[in-house]
Amino acid sequence: MDPHRPGYGDDEYAKVADYVYSHGQGSPRLRRPSSRGSNRNYPHFDWDPAASGEDVDDEEVDGGRESGQELRELRTVPLPMVLKRAVRQVQEMHVPVASSRMTSWKQKKRKMLKKIRNVAGEFLHFFMLWRKSLQQIGGNFGGGVQSYFLLLRFLVLLNLVSFLLIAGFVVIPSIVLRSVHSGPAYHTGPEECMKYDPNPQGLVAFYNYVLDFLSGTGFMEYSYLFYGYYGNTLVGDGNLSYNIPLAYLFTAVFYFAFCLICITARMGTAARVAVATGGGAAGNYSMMVFTGWDYGCLGDRATKLKQKNIRYRLQVDLEEQLVKKRAASLTLPQKVVLYSLRIVMGFVALGLIGAACYGIFMATVFSQERSGQIGILGLILEYLPSIVITAGNFLVPLLCEQIALVERYAPSTAVILALLRSVFLRLVSLGVLLFTLWGQIKCQADTGKCDLCQYNHQEYPCWETRVGQEMYKLTLFDLIVTIVALVLVEFPRRMLVDNWSNKVARWVGRQEFVVSANVLDLVYGQTVVWTGALFCPLLPLINTAKFVIIFYCKKVTLFSNCRPALKTFRSTTSNFFFLMVLLFGWTVATLVMIYSVAEIRPSMGCGPFRVFPYMWAIVPTSFHRLSEVTRDFLFFVGSQAFLVPLFALSCVVMCYVIALAAVYGKIVTLLRAQLKQEGRDKQFLVKQIENMSRQLQIPTRDFA
């Protein structure tokens, strides 16, 4: 950009020249005196380190720190964007004359590394999963709907990396060791407890393979998909040894830790955005007015949709303020009636959730008692708990939404309360299913069956595989329901609404794409995978394929059948809330894993832990096989001499972080108060100017 081109006035040219010369970066062709007007109106800054009395060769005059400081301070200069770009180009063209070879080499290396980083970022961005599809969704439906698909992509990558972890440490070593070490696995215990033969005998009809695939039995049961197929192989020589049971347990632990780290890192980003954009009503209004528009919207449809969303957000805030005013104006008897009504409706909602959980309990007991059926009837009985869980997750939230209308909460509070009830229902239903299975495995109804093997070996010869099959069926049934709903419900509904114009069709309308409900479906599906990963190691791979199929199904139904919901969450808090729900699901699955590892006796006829009283017993057993130096080191790490100083250091660091966070919080509060005070000062000055204009009879202007 040439400052001498047409469109630059003398003042603008002088501003660029004064700015450049004040930094010691003047170009010979720009050497001309500046006008008085520019000297009077433009603030001068002396950023040249040499001019401030510092040594040019000092280590602080580093190229990266100089350029970063100049770039940050250039942003604060009150100049038009065109002039800032001109100054930036002059700075980039500047080559220091008096610089050492080391400084020149550092600058060249910094530029080369920056160029390599930019090229690598562009290369990775080009191969980013579903990049164009996400841009298309965000441009047509806004960032709220796009956040659902971003979370879906995050879960796909999370499950894919988790599968690679499990495959690298468990599946592939098991395949290799099974081919090399073909000897039988060693067993200990009564002979009746070790009876387990899942292989089908004789010829099997083709449709039985389909039924086995859907239920996880037959040829699917005794495969690398489930826990029972993995052996308790321990291979070792003088230089190398590999312990399959220990690798199986530690891989599960690392898998859960890896998921926790990924979720926490993503929550940190969402929390920073939520804190930065938080505040009172005035702050929300300002944020919506100045930063609420989505410049990625493409077309008239997306523009109108974004306008409606902004209008709805303003409407929600106004309704909340109105509800607060009405609540403040209520008399004591009216408050008593309102709170009593909310308490009663809360108990009604809990009653509905309890009824759904009781139905799941009865369906699970009925299904397990008649698990020997074959054919289509047997398949229906196998999927009966999944069917009841899906029906409860569909019907109970609809009834809770009607209850929320009676409770008369604020709009945002009503949405959050409905979501919390839905989350509680989904996770509790999963817990009831596992509790019922564990009750039958541990013979809570008839303890005589568990006297010999400490678990019900007659009905559950390999109970870990049975639990894995239940999680496998829940995952598969969720995918089947999504596809069936797309083909048999959503497409016919769209055709009915588009082709008929009667009152029923207008009342039904097109289906809304409710982001919160779809996100809860993802959270529920991922929680099922976490719960069953210990018993079904390939479940993350199945869930990866499931989420990929769901992505394309949701994309098709979004563009063809649905219209996005006008009533949406606040985007600044919804992402953090959804990740909190995902973290809560991870916590539930972690408790399930801990209980299974530490409390229940492993099956004696299958799996890597068949010879141990509980799964965690492999850890102390393997510990005593380590070398003396390693044992001494681990004993020292677990001793008081190491843990007490570590605890003290952790407390000191935690106190420092808490104090730092408190200071930052006070600074943020002061800055917000300062912004509010500046707004009041501006309003006061505008009123004073208007009053003076009326007194002096000066034509008024719109100063706002």
**CB contact at 8 A, 323 and 412:** no
| pTM of the predicted model as reported, rounded to 2 decimal places | 0.74
List, in order, residues 6 or more apart from 192 with CB less than 8 Å away: 452, 453, 457
- State the pLDDT confidence band at 349, using cuts at 50, 70 and 90: confident
Tokens of 588: 């539930």
What angle do the packed helices 81-93 and 10-22 form, to 10 degrees? 40
Confidence check: pLDDT of 259 > 90: yes
In the chain, the percentage of residues whose pLDDT exceeds 90 is: 11
Which range, of 277-281, 419-423, 611-615, 677-681, averages the lowest pLDDT? Answer: 277-281
- Mean pLDDT, rounded, of the chain: 76
pLDDT of residue 406: 81
| Per-residue confidence (pLDDT) for residue 184, from 0 to 100 | 52
Mean pLDDT over residues 296-304, rounded?
70
Looking at residue 550, what is its pLDDT? 93
Q: Is the pLDDT of residue 268 over 90?
A: no
Identify the pLDDT of residue 443. Answer: 78
Give Cβ neighbours of residue 474 (< 8 Å, ≥ 6 apart).
386, 389, 430, 528, 532
Q: Residue 400: how many CB atoms within 10 A of its CB?
A: 21
Per the listing, tokens 């950009």 go with 1
Tell me the residue type at 290.
F
More confident of the two residues 322 and 470: 470
CA dist 51 to 23, 46, 61, 217, 276, Å?
9, 8, 12, 81, 38
How many of the other CB atoms lie within 10 Å of CB of 703?
Answer: 11
Nearest Cα residue to 132 out of 296, 299, 269: 296
Residue 410 or 597, more confident = 597
d(CA 570, CA 568): 7
- Judged by average pLDDT, the poorest of 184-188, 226-230, 539-543, 561-565 is 184-188
* Residue pLDDT, tens place only, 80-130: 777 777 777 776 665 454 456 777 777 778 878 887 877 777 666 666 778
Cα Rg, the chain, nearest whole Å: 33
The predicted pLDDT at position 572 comes to 57
Classify residue 2 as left (phi > 0), alpha (psi -120 to 50) or beta: beta
At residue 42 the predicted structure's pLDDT band, cuts being 50, 70 and 90, is very low
What confidence category does residue 652 fall into, taking pLDDT thresholds of 50, 70 and 90? very high
Residue pointed to by tokens 């659902």: 148
Whole-number pLDDT of residue 33? 43
Mean pLDDT throughout 269-290? Answer: 64
Mean pLDDT, rounded, for 343-367: 87
Mean pLDDT for the stretch of residues 310-334: 77
Residue 283 has pLDDT above 70, yes or no: no
What is the SS3 assignment for 478? helix
Using DSSP's 3-state secondary structure scheme, residue 647 falls into helix
Q: Would you state the pLDDT for residue 567?
A: 60
- pLDDT above 80 for 657: yes
Are 607 and 600 in contact by the 8 Å Cβ rule? The answer is no
What are the φ/ψ torsions at residue 103 (nearest 5 degrees)? Answer: -65, -45
Among residues of the chain, what percentage have pLDDT more than 70? 74
Summarize the confidence of residues 175-196 as an average pLDDT.
69
pLDDT above 70 (res 71): no
Could you give the CA distance from residue 150 to residue 140 in angstroms, rounded to a whole number? Answer: 15
Phi first, then psi: give them for residue 563, nearest 5 degrees: -120, 140
Higher pLDDT, 540 or 461: 540
Of the two residues 188 and 365, the one the predictor is more confident about is 365
Burial track 45-66 (b if 16+ CB lie within 10 A, e otherwise): eebebeeeeeeeeeeeeebeeb
Q: Taking the alpha carbons of 543, 549, 555, 557 in that order, is the dihedral positive or negative?
A: negative
Model pLDDT, residue 37? 42
Q: What is the pLDDT of residues 596-644, one digit of tens each?
A: 888 888 888 888 888 888 888 888 888 877 778 888 888 888 788 888 8
Would you say residue 64 has pLDDT above 60?
no
Mean pLDDT value across residues 474-486 = 89
- The residues that bridge with 563 in the sheet, in sequence order, are 512
Beta bridge partner(s), residue 236: 241
pLDDT (average), residues 656-682: 86
Query: What pLDDT, on the 0 to 100 scale, is given for residue 429?
Result: 87
Predicted confidence band at 538 (pLDDT cuts at 50, 70, 90)? very high
